[in-house]
Structure 1
Amino acid sequence: MNAPAKKLAKTRTEKDLLGIAQVPADAFFGIQTQRAMENFNLSGIQLHHFPNLVKALAIVKLAAAQANAQLGQLEKKRFEAIDFACREIIAGKYHDQFVVDMIQGGAGTSTNMNANEVIANVGLGYLGHNKGEYQYLHPNNDVNMAQSTNDAYPTAIRLSVLLDHGKLVGSLRQLKRAFKVKSVEFADVIKMGRTQLQDAVPMTLGQEFRSYASTLSEDIDRIADLSELFLEVNLGGTAIGTGINTDPQYAHFAVECLADVSQFSFRPASDLVEASSDMGAFVLFSGMLKRLAIKLSKICNDLRLLSSGPRTGLNEINLPPQQPGSSIMPGKVNPVIPEAVNQVAFQIIGNDMAITMAAEAGQLQLNVMEPLIAYNILESMRLLSQAMDMLRTRCIEGITANAEHCKNQVNNSIGIITALNPYIGYDNATRIARQAQEEGCSVLDLVRQEKLLDEKTLEDILRPETMVAPGRLRK
């Protein structure tokens, strides 16, 4: 008869400055992460919600370990264990062990220790030891060697922004392209332009959609330019930028290794003390994200107006129907995709305000509000990318035009008088417009009745290509 299986322990005991605590036996994080989980149950958004932040933390730790190994500070077997663990995390493993809330006290110390502890315990397994046997590979002494939260954490945040940047710009490029395609498709659809929600002058629907492509195109280069700000890092500055507890060559080697591992051309900040507390790059970049969000919201406002109706609104375009619009009104279909993008824009505007306030709240040699900055900047990038993809695939690509309705609106509009103004004079144009408005008749009928222009001239003036672009006046 076999002996009963030995019951596995559900927890392990670890100790820190405050004493001992129980950590789940199978967890790769340790005691300081456990305390942070108990202390900061705030947003419900854990570090692994942003995979590129987790990846960035591992890249920073790997770069630091490489620098320390090159300088002879970190023995070979410990370096190999850290190297293995970091590369596993970079490859996407163990992300579920990054469990600290994004919003936390301590200027990111809990995030840094979460990374240190997971890397240490994965490395211990590589060395053949049990989790928590830190005498063989220590979270602080080895994984965090020559580092502080105050240089490793902000460096990782900057790297995570750069890693997310490609997705953001890619989504923006695709959305711009979708508007450009529609601008070609609608190039011959004549319609009324409007200012202050009143009839203005004729244009084409293609021109309107091209303007959306153009306004988004402006932001592609600007977002790329601003992302360059994140290439300057304070790695090697440790606690406040003075570089305490590091080899004189460490900062240079660490940034060089960071650039090599990440494939981004990082450079050390010219003043590490200043760089340890300044959040200016995040303020500028967040402002750019807000600007893009505002543009998207304005475009979505336009789409909702242009598609309003279908019987009592502008009804110039049709948005692809995505779901029934009412629980009480049969047949109603709402512009749900633009509405959702509007709400994303409002959230990003709020995120920008939170970043602004957090950046202002820095004191002396450190900004302890950086976790809130990290959370909001990464969340804004994520929301923007997803909102642009949704808008493109579930709305823009399926838009159709009501061309005949648009043309009839132009022909019946008082605004068409503007095209006749150079030929009949401002006073005549004003009088005709007023009469048409009061009598509910056509501007063109009144012009014909008074024989202000002959039919050939009138037809020439009212040609779509004449009304929607500059041209020489007929004598």
Structure 2
Amino acid sequence: MYREEQDSVGKLNIPKDAYYGVNAQRAFENFQITGQRLDPLFIESLVQVKKAVALANMELGELDPKIGETIVKVADEMLAGNLHDQMIVDPIQGGAGTSSNMNINEVIANRAIEMLGGEKGDYTVVSPNDHVNKGQSTNDVYPTSGKLTMLKLADILLASLNQLADTFEAKAKEFAGIKKMGRTQLSDAVLITVGEEFHAHSTLTKRNIKRLEAVKDEVRALNMGGTAIGTGISAHKDLPQTFNKHINDVTGLGLTVAEDLIDATQNIDCFAVVADVQKTIGLSLSKVANDIRLLSSGPRTGLGELYIPSRQNGSSIMPGKINPVIPEVLSQAAYLAAGNSYTVALAVEGGQLELNAFEPVAFHKIFESFRVLSNAILTFDENCVKGIEVNKERCRELLERSTYLTTDLAIHIGYKEASEITKESLRDDKTVIEVAREHGVSEEIISAITAD
């Protein structure tokens, strides 16, 4: 069973029971791109925007209270999880997000019509454009909803990062007294403790937390009320501030009105900053994951200083082989975020004049990076870092066989003679102390360089 709806392109049959309308149906047919639906938090954000605008328009006398209150009721239903299946458009779409905006407008309008006793598609009762979209444009609704979504997803990523930082800190304390060989450029350097290494991992993770907290401020300023190009045409002059009051009541996200609504409509450079921070978080933690893979390599022919949890078979042909699958997946998440950052950069540059039409792909990739990084960091923490143990015997063995003491020795006898002792130690497979004694280095100096 179908109902007929019409837009400026022509007539189209819509499933009779559908809450979406002709605009969403046409977009569904035009944009079969990713095979995915809009992010659930983006749908939530769209609904919150529509609710807050309805409240603002009623306060400003711009919307019939009967219609406005019904829109708010529908929004509350959707915020409770209903009708999300009626959001049918693909995340990547032409039209700068118009398809997403009209999809939510139609769903809210048709449910409101139903509540008021009408038939779906009878937009004389509640109009997707004249009522649900009152005082708005896709060009302020869509970026505003995207920013709300980023703030929510940032908090999910922050939770994963905070958990990982706490685990690294706990491991730093657990491994505080375990000495090992430090390495630079994959070559023996000087002594360090395993605890110091893990404390450095914690410091890095906390720095990423600060980066992410700071970048949230990039997306708190909204262009809502700027409508098509930031001039506010078709909106009440007080809508930006009135909306901002209501959207903060609805979300609690600490949002502000953009200083310049035209700038905030034209330019989306803030999204490049978000994507770059995502990339930095991913790549910096991938470096940690790679270090842990290297230090746990083996079990017989690698460095073997760390034990990481065994999570699954590593080979379909080599019995008993275990691979570092959890660190590997974190690195792959980082690579995804890095690639997505480049996509966002291209989208940011691609805008022309008063609008950037490429926000859909930017949002899709930023949302993806937030979710993938959050999940990868969480599995890295739960399934790897929390279960790491130290092979103390291996650390001691490698430390004793290293030439790290020659750095301290050089302070007492000079760089040139210490270098000769180092070369002889490696050539003859002797310890530095053994060769130092052979070179006549005093026991007083040897005691000084071997003291804890």
Q: Does 1:344 align with 2:328?
A: no
1:449 aligns with 2:438: yes
| Residue pair 2:405, 2:449 contacting (<8 A) in 1 also | no
Task: Write the letter of the residue equivalent to 2:234.
Answer: N
Match of 1:271 in 2: 260
The alignment status of 1:436 with 2:425, answered yes or no, reads yes
Provide the identity percentage. 42
Alignment deviations for residues 170-196 of structure 1 (CA, whole Å, 9 cap, x no partner): 110100111111111111111101001
| Among candidates 155, 164, 174, match of residue 166 of structure 1 | 155
1:73-84 pair list within 5 angstroms: 73-84=62-73
TM-score, length-scaled by structure 1:
0.93
1:116 aligns with 2:113: no
- Once the two structures are superposed, residues 12-54 of structure 1 have per-residue CA deviations (whole angstroms, 9 ceiling, x without a partner) of 221111111122222221111111111111112211xx22111
Deviation at 1:459, TM superposition (A): 4.3
Task: From 400, 416, 422, give the equivalent of 2:405.
Answer: 416
2:49 corresponding residue in structure 1: 60
CA distance in 2, matches of 1:83, 1:249: 20
- Does structure 1 residue 136 correspond to structure 2 residue 139? no
Corresponding residue for 2:36? Answer: 45
Which amino acid in structure 2 is aligned with residue 458 of structure 1? I
The answer for the alignment partner of 1:427 in structure 2 is 416
Letter in 1 for 2:66: K
| Matching of residue 462 in structure 1 with residue 428 in structure 2 | no
Following superposition, the deviation at residue 251 of structure 1 comes to: 2.3
Please, which of 44, 55, 59 is the counterpart of residue 70 of structure 1?
A: 59
Q: Which amino acid aligns with 2:231?
A: T
The equivalent residue for 2:318 is: 329
1:375 equivalent in alignment to 2:379: no
State the distance in 2 between where 1:118 and 1:274 align. 31
Q: Within 2, Cα distance between the matches of 1:462 and 1:394? A: 38
State the one-letter code of the partner of 1:272: L
- Output the amino acid matched with 1:143: V
Tell me which residue corresponds to 2:24.
33
Residue 344 of structure 2: which of 327, 347, 355 is its match? 355
Equivalent of residue 24 in structure 1, options 9, 15, 21: 15
Matched, 1:217 2:206: yes
Which portions of structure 1, spanning 4 or more consecutive aligned residues, are displaced by more than 6 angstroms?
none
Structure 1 residue corresponding to 2:353, chosen from 338, 350, 364? 364
**Matches of 1:284 and 1:453 in 2, distance apart?**
59
Matched residues, number: 452
The gaps in structure 1 that reach 5 residues or longer are: 1-8, 467-475
Q: Deviations over 1:88-136 (max 9, x none)?
A: 1122222222121111100000010111111112222222223222211
Amino acid at match of 1:462: T
**1:227 pairs with one of 210, 216, 224:** 216
- Per the alignment, residue 473 of structure 1 pairs with none
TM-score, L = length of structure 2: 0.97
Q: Secondary structure of 1:242's match?
A: coil
CA displacement at 1:460 relative to structure 2: 4.8
What is the aligned partner in structure 2 of residue 155 from structure 1?
144
Gapped regions of structure 2 (runs ≥ 5) = none
* CA distance in structure 1 between the partners assigned to 2:197 and 2:96 by the alignment: 47
Distance 2:375 2:427 in 1: 49
Secondary structure of the residue aligned to 2:404 is: helix
Structure 1: distance between partners of 2:163 and 2:256:
31
- Indicate the RMSD between aligned Cα atoms, in angstroms: 1.3
Does 2:172 match 1:195?
no
Please give the alpha-carbon distance, in whole angstroms, between the structure 1 residues aligned to 2:192 and 2:31.
56
The answer on whether the counterparts of 1:201 and 1:419 sit within 8 Å (CA) in structure 2 is no
